[in-house]
Amino acid sequence: MPNIKSAEKRVKIIEKKTLQNKSVKSKISTYAKKFKVAVANKDIAASEAAFKDVVSLLDKAACDNVIHKNSADRKKAHYAKMLDDLKAAK
């Protein structure tokens, strides 16, 4: 437990930011699941739309330092490969 007033304020700020970051990560996870379901159903149009949403969220999260830039790039590459494989299969 912090003894200094500024340290107490930092604890409150960190708690708020943690909740915000958790919300963003949860949203990314939700949209990633939607994308994976669309790919599993072999629905190219839905997959492309979901891919666009996931990439946008990943870029925003990386820009705000919610997730690391390399992590976002790695996930985007993985999802792009999934989409390319789906298109090649048709």
Q: What is the pLDDT of residue 1?
A: 85
Residue identified by tokens 């915000």 is 20
Number of neighbouring beta carbons within 10 Å of residue 56 = 11
Structure tokens at 7: 């340290």
Structure pTM?
Answer: 0.89
Helix extents (H) in the chain: 5-40, 44-63, 69-89
Q: How many domains does the chain have?
A: 1
Write out pLDDT tens, residues 55-77. Answer: 999 999 999 999 999 999 999 99
90: pLDDT confidence band, cut at 50, 70 and 90? confident
| DSSP tag of 68 | -
Look up the domain containing 42 and give its range: 5-89
The CATH number linked to 36 is 1.20.58.110
Q: What is the pLDDT of residue 69?
A: 98
